[in-house]
């Protein structure tokens, strides 16, 4: 459900960057009209805690956000006319008490970049250090000049911990300072817009249970009224300041404040360092007092270690992550920077020890109400499986933990096996009844696909026994019970919605059918390899045989007259969309046309058939891929940020490298250039992950659907060299591509370590002893570039 835009107009410039700047995202202006976008871009997180990049002072602010993964409140859903099995409640991500706030008054005037004079205002997201740095030189309306510097981090190695160091200097003369370090609950959130993709707003969602302050420390404990959750946040401070400054503290149910006040002279500096710790639990779990003690101990431990130790640990954690996650892209510094930005946010989106998965926006904003959608499994986890397999494992284990809710939903819908939700936070369906959501059963096969990819890449037999096999079995049971056999002996899946939300309740959606086939076969293979485990799940040989028979007979609609696959049965016979009378301001179409009009025409919101070709490449011939890509490119308007990446992968595979490069650029710049005007609600993690897929699957030619890694690399004109790494069965494989050759090596492995690979169809083995070099064959001429809908081709970057 992620919405972006495609346009022939140039995107907002990120700015020319040199090599060192490709590791930094820098803003040197107040950009008051782009506050929300900047807050999302500068967000920090570690998969458990997330701080939006709001200014230290908390104002001006587009949307505050201090999140704990999975912490939410429940609200009732209402319908003008009720229907059986309509979801009755939805969950919305809410902010935990915010510990990032540090407010400053200079001679009783608040530092506010909208007042006075800004001589310097620079904020830098350091992708290597994992911190957000800020420097501001401000002259108050009364003429008092100060310099403020801050460094903020959310600790990657220490799950509950975040910290900020805040420094103030007087520049021209003495000033009277007041610095207030706040821990604040129930911050005001702006009301939602008319855009259905915006978040719901719950006013004052937290009820205070405990609040205490002593010396330089404080704790707040709050609970939600309906979801039954409790959150605790503690702060602990270090103060380095002249003796002339004094400290005081106060507390209310929703705020703990430490105030430092007094005179500051030129040459003197106030440095306040705040350490915070976050935990949450069910109300029926850990009592409020024990939770408060737990976070207080965590914050105190961080203070004892010191801010410099947190910085060092953060850098060490990122150095290890970047060894695998970095992608070197020579030839386009702007997109090199954007690629590192994308990978940084993927690194901090999840963790292996949180018991949580990765929402669509991560912890960067409350868009989509903080829900988890299917794109976690279809876009984000395929990347993390190669880069951080333990994080992918944790996310899939979270799905397994919510199998009870999925089984309950299947029973409610009169289905077999498990029906996983379209949108969720805590395992239950959070989307009100909507044909393009409720009928999107493909989420079950998407989860199974992520399980199969993880098992192939990690060979994790323990995960298979503990969670993987049961996920495969229960999702396979859904398809076997949902489908039906026709008189011709074909197995059909009717009344579903595929990835394209401009088509709903269709029959035999190719994506859904092929992914269900993969699900059924994967479950059958796993159950046969592990009969004892399968037996404990009640799997009998006859059930396995039924899965295989259904998979072999899955119907795949094909239009012989046009020589293309039908996105769903009959799709190519529907009326065409009237692009000639659709203006530039009519996009995204969902905000300007009724869904009834969209559903019945050949117009595609997001890649559907093309995504099927990306995820199930062995099901299509090369000629079919080329014809399908051309047909659907002409009808895909990319009103969704999920489209560009799979389109780029297929465009590269069939040889349209300029188009592929432009689509890759659209995917990776989705947030840095705010292409869909929705970055203020949070980053589009699927699009950021998709940019890695566009590079590695598209230009690197990576495929893994046959259990063996194969590469068919080809570089576009703008990339002189492409270097990437991935993990495969415990080893790191590094691939270096130039126009002349491809180099495959195992840089960290023992000499006798091996991986079997394919390069443009030729099998070979790479060992830890020496790299293997293969020539890059010429790219065949693919013919004319496919046409895009009028005005919807991605911005042309390929020519330089």
Partner residues linked to 165 by β-bridges: 151, 273
Q: Are 685 and 380 in contact (CB under 8 A)?
A: yes
Name the token pair of 245. Answer: 């400054």
Closest CA to 724 of 752, 745, 749: 745
Q: Are 478 and 512 in contact (CB under 8 A)?
A: no
Pairwise CA distance, residues 613 & 620, whole Å: 7
Closest CA to 696 of 376, 342, 396: 342
The single residue of 57, 501, 633, 666 carrying the catalytic annotation is 501
Q: What is the DSSP string of 513-563?
A: HHHHHHHHHHHHHHHHH-HHHHHHTT--HHHHHHHHHHHHHB---EETTTT
Closest CA to 650 of 612, 679, 683: 612
Pairing of strands 754-759, 709-711: parallel
606 annotated as ligand-binding:
yes
Pairwise CA distance, residues 304 & 287, whole Å: 26
Contacts of 478 (CB under 8 A, 6+ apart): 410, 415, 416, 417, 418, 419, 441, 444
Say whether 466 is catalytic: no
605 annotated as ligand-binding:
yes
773: left (phi over 0), alpha (psi -120 to 50) or beta: beta
375 annotated as ligand-binding:
yes
Classify each residue of 599-634 as buried b or exposed e, where b means 16 or more C-beta atoms within 10 Å of its C-beta: bebbbbbbbbbbbbbbbbbebbeeeebbbbbbbbbb
88 annotated as ligand-binding:
no
Pairing of strands 558-559, 731-738: unpaired
Q: What is the DSSP string of 761-780?
A: TEEEEEESSS-EEEE-PPPP
Pairwise CA distance, residues 661 & 667, whole Å: 10
Classify each residue of 685-707 as buried b or exposed e, where b means 16 or more C-beta atoms within 10 Å of its C-beta: bbbbbbbbbbbbbbbbbbbbbee
Three-state DSSP class for residue 423: coil
Pairwise CA distance, residues 602 & 593, whole Å: 14
Closest CA to 629 of 649, 646, 612, 651: 651
User: Which residues does the annotation place in the binding site for substrate?
Assistant: 374-375, 605-606
**Residues contributing to the annotated binding site:** 374-375, 605-606
Catalytic residue positions? 501
């Amino acid at each position: 459900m992620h919405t972006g835009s495609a346009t022939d107009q140039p995107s907002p410039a990120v700015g020319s960057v040199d090599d060192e700047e490709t590791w930094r995202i820098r803003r040197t202006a107040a950009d008051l009209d782009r506050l929300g976008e900047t807050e999302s871009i500068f967000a920090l997180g570690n998969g458990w805690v997330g701080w939006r990049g709001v200014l230290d002072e908390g104002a001006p602010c587009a949307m505050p956000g201090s999140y704990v993964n999975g912490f939410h409140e429940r609200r009732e859903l209402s319908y003008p006319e009720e229907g059986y099995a309509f979801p009755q409640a939805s969950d919305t991500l809410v902010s935990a008490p915010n510990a990032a706030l540090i407010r400053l008054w200079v001679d009783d005037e608040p530092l506010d970049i909208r007042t006075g004079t800004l001589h310097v205002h620079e904020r830098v997201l350091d992708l290597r250090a994992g911190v957000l740095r800020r420097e501001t030189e401000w002259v108050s309306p009364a003429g008092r000049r100060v310099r403020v510097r801050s460094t903020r981090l959310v600790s990657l190695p220490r799950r509950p911990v975040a910290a900020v160091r805040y420094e103030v200097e007087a520049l021209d003369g003495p000033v009277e300072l007041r610095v207030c370090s706040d821990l604040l609950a129930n911050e005001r959130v702006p009301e939602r817009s008319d855009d259905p993709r915006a978040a719901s707003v719950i006013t004052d969602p937290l009820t205070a249970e405990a609040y205490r302050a002593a010396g330089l420390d404080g704790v707040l404990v709050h609970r939600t009224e309906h979801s039954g959750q409790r959150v605790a946040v503690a702060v602990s401070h270090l103060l380095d300041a002249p003796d002339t400054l004094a400290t005081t503290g106060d507390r209310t149910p929703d705020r703990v404040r430490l105030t430092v006040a007094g005179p500051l002279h030129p040459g003197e500096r106030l440095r306040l360092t705040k350490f915070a710790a976050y935990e949450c639990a069910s109300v029926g779990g850990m009592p409020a007092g024990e939770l408060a003690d737990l976070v207080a101990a965590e914050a105190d431990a961080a203070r004892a270690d010191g801010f410099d130790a947190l910085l060092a640990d953060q850098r060490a954690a990122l150095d290890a992550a970047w060894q695998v996650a970095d992608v070197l892209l020579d030839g386009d510094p702007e997109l090199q920077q954007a690629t590192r930005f994308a990978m940084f946010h993927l690194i901090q989106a999840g963790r292996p020890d949180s018991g949580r998965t990765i929402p669509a926006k991560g912890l960067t904003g409350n868009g989509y109400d903080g829900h988890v959608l299917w794109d976690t499994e279809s876009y984000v986890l395929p990347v993390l499986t190669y880069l951080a397999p333990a994080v992918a494992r944790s996310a899939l284990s979270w799905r397994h933990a919510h199998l009870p809710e999925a089984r309950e939903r299947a029973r409610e819908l009169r289905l077999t096996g498990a029906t996983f939700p379209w949108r969720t936070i805590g395992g239950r369906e959070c989307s009100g009844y909507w044909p393009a959501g409720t009928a999107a059963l493909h989420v079950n096969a998407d989860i199974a696909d992520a399980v199969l990819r993880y098992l192939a890449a990690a060979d994790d037999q323990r995960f298979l026994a503990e969670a993987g096999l049961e996920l495969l079995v229960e999702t396979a049971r859904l398809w076997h019970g949902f489908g039906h056999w026709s008189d011709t002996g074909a197995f059909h899946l009717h009344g579903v919605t595929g990835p394209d939300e401009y088509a709903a309740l269709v029959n035999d959606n190719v994506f859904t059918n092929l992914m269900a086939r993969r699900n059924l076969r994967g479950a059958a293979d796993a159950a046969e390899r592990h009969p004892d485990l399968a037996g404990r799940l009640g799997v009998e040989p006859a059930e396995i045989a039924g899965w295989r028979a259904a998979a072999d007979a899955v119907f795949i609609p094909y239009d012989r007259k046009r020589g293309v696959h039908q996105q769903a049965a009959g799709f190519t016979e529907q009326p065409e969309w009237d692009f000639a009378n659709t203006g530039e301001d009519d996009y995204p179409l969902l905000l300007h046309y009724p869904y009834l009009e969209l559903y019945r025409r050949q117009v595609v919101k997001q890649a559907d058939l093309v995504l099927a070709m990306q995820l199930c490449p062995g099901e299509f011939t090369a000629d079919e891929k080329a014809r399908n890509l051309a047909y659907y490119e002409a009808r895909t308007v990319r009103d969704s940020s999920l489209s560009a990446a799979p389109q780029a992968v297929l465009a590269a595979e069939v040889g349209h490298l300029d188009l592929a490069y432009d689509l890759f650029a659209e995917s990776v710049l989705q947030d840095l250039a705010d292409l869909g005007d929705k970055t203020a609600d949070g980053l589009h993690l699927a699009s950021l992950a998709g940019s890695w897929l566009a590079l590695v699957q598209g230009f690197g030619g990576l495929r893994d659907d046959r259990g063996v890694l194969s590469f068919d690399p080809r570089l576009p004109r703008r990339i002189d060299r492409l270097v990437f790494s991935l993990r495969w069965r415990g080893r790191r494989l590094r691939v270096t591509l130039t126009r002349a050759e491809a180099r495959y090596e195992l840089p960290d492995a023992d000499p006798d370590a091996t991986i079997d690979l394919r390069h443009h169809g030729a099998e070979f083995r790479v060992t830890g002893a020496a790299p293997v070099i293969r020539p890059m064959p010429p790219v065949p001429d693919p013919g004319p570039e496919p046409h895009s809908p009028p005005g919807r081709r991605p911005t042309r970057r390929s020519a330089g």
